[in-house]
């Protein structure tokens, strides 16, 4: 059994791993309690809205991390090449070099997608917009920048899925290593 936790902020990463492993639908209160060391009553004390509130707060915490470490740096950087390299490094770190699945992606693919549509769409739309803008500042046209940004998100998500499916995190690392050059290459 997990060590009991009493601070709400400490609970969110533990809950996130259960949702990553089992999806929203498969994350039972027993699994969530086992991961946190809390009984059902204690979970409801911290999250009166139950599992839906837990998932919403986990998604909000992920969103905060991405805002600080990826979205804002992309939006504010004066150096597009450095911003893209920083994004790639942060993505690699966050997804543990392809060993951690994207919980927002898990939610997007699950039956609970509609419950969290605003959070899921906001996460991907803000990432896509921030990356497209920094690529535009590198001298690419708005159309090319948007296409490359969308391709990058598809590439990152696809690399996570393929690395997981084949049990080979090197796939993610190789993909991330090639992504910076692909994003910043001059148009043909």
Query: CB under 8 Å to 13, separation ≥6 — which residues?
Result: 61
Kindly tell me if the per-residue pLDDT of 20 is higher than 90. Answer: yes
Label residue 175 exposed, middle or buried (CB < 10 Å: 0-12, 13-18, 19+). Answer: buried
Closest CA to 152 of 175, 120, 123: 175
Ordered DSSP codes for 35-93: HHT--HHHHHHH-TTHHHHHHHHHHHHHHHHHIIIIIHHHHH-S-HHHHHHHHHHHHHH
Asked if the model's pLDDT at residue 123 lies above 90, the reply is yes
Q: DSSP string covering 111-134, please?
A: TTGGGGHHHHHHHHHHHHHHHHHH
In the chain the first and final C-alpha atoms are separated, in Å, by 56
Confidence of residue 175 (pLDDT cuts 50, 70, 90): very high
Specify the DSSP class assigned to residue 140. -
pTM, 2 dp:
0.91
Q: Render pLDDT for 51-97 as a digit per residue (tens, 0 to 9).
A: 999 999 999 999 999 999 999 999 999 999 999 999 999 999 999 99
> Has residue 3 got a pLDDT over 80?
no
All domains of the chain, ordered by start, with CATH? 8-184 (1.10.357.10)
Dist CA 123 CA 134 (whole Å): 17
């Amino acid at each position: 059994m997990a060590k009991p936790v009493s601070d709400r902020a400490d609970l969110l990463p533990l809950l996130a791993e259960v949702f990553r492993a089992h999806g929203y639908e498969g994350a039972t209160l027993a699994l969530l309690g086992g991961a946190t060391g809390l009984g059902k009553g204690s979970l409801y004390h911290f999250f009166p809205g139950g599992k839906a509130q837990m998932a919403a707060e986990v998604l909000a915490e992920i969103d905060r991390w991405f805002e600080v470490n990826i979205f804002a740096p992309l939006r504010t950087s004066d150096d597009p090449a450095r911003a893209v390299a920083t994004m790639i490094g942060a993505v690699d770190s966050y997804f543990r070099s392809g060993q951690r699945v994207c919980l927002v992606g898990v939610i997007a693919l699950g039956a609970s997608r509609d419950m969290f549509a605003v959070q899921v769409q906001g996460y991907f739309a803000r990432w896509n917009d921030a990356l497209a803008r920094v690529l535009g500042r590198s001298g690419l046209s708005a159309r090319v920048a948007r296409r490359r940004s969308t391709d990058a998100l598809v590439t990152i998500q696809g690399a996570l899925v393929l690395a997981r499916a084949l049990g080979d995190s090197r796939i993610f690392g190789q993909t991330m290593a090639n992504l910076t050059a692909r994003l910043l290459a001059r148009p043909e």
